[in-house]
């Protein structure tokens, strides 16, 4: 019997099948398979009624994960703290000014040039943060050749690094240099003095970002 079908038990026994045309005043005893199971299923409420207003429960909202924009240098840093993520990504410039022309690696809607690189990078990260908040990861990102060139001009990567980034999988197979990027500071250990998480640039490279 199909789910949701009803079993009708008439109070008056009959050897004939019920008519689809004749209306009966008798009230049948009705048992629904689907409603019979409902009392044993708790269900999963999507919204919670708070003073007559339907709201998301805090544990129902998926916390966004922010991935390092420099994954192509082998950086596997991720964070759920947007401000910490911004600070970390900026530290990859090692104090040098970011590029004045920026673009989004995840869409074609954001491509702008600003008066200074700090402003440009701020708006670039603000835009990318929106993608992460929507659940988009850098697995779908496109190579940013302008950013590659800028890192080379600032001597943050060498000639071989630039050549490797422009070809193949557009990510390095070896570290650009032997250093550790922290949340805005350089360090040597696994954690800085405040205990905040940071990432190490090591010899093992991925063919794409984690997401």
pTM of the model: 0.57
User: What six digits make up the tokens of 91?
Assistant: 């530290």
pLDDT digits over 153-202, tens only?
999 999 999 998 998 778 787 767 644 444 444 333 333 333 334 443 33
pLDDT digits over 131-151, tens only?
999 999 988 889 999 999 999
Residue with the larger pLDDT of the pair 196 and 12: 12
On whether the CB atoms of residues 154 and 99 are closer than 8 A, the answer is no
Distance (Å, rounded) from C-alpha 85 to C-alpha 136? 16
- Given a cut of 60, whether residue 55 has pLDDT beyond it is yes
pLDDT digits over 71-84, tens only?
999 899 999 999 99
Distance (Å, rounded) from C-alpha 31 to C-alpha 15? 21
On whether the CB atoms of residues 144 and 121 are closer than 8 A, the answer is no
Q: What does the domain layout of the chain look like in residue ranges? A: 66-200
Residue with tokens 């909202």: 61
Please tell me whether residue 148 adopts helix, strand or coil conformation.
helix
Task: Summarize the confidence of residues 17-31 as an average pLDDT.
Answer: 50
Residue with the larger pLDDT of the pair 143 and 17: 143
């Amino acid at each position: 019997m199909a789910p949701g079908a009803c079993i009708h038990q008439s109070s008056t026994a009959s050897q004939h099948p019920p008519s689809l045309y004749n209306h009966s005043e008798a009230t049948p005893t009705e048992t629904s398979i689907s409603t019979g199971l409902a009392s044993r299923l708790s269900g999963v409420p999507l919204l919670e009624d708070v003073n007559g207003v339907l709201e998301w429960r805090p544990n129902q909202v998926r916390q966004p994960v922010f991935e390092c924009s420099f994954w192509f240098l082998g950086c596997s840093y991720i964070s759920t703290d947007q401000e910490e993520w911004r600070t970390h990504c900026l530290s990859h410039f090692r104090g040098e000014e970011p590029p004045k022309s920026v673009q989004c690696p995840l869409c074609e809607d954001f491509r702008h040039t600003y008066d200074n690189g700090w402003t440009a990078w701020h708006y670039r990260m603000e835009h990318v943060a929106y993608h992460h908040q929507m659940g988009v990861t850098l697995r779908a990102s496109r190579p940013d050749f302008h950013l590659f060139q800028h890192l080379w001009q600032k001597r943050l990567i060498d000639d071989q690094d630039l050549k490797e980034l422009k070809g193949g999988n557009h990510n390095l197979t070896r570290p650009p240099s032997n250093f550790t990027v922290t949340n805005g500071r350089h360090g040597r250990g696994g954690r800085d003095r405040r205990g905040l998480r940071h990432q190490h640039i090591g010899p093992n490279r991925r063919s794409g970002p984690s997401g």
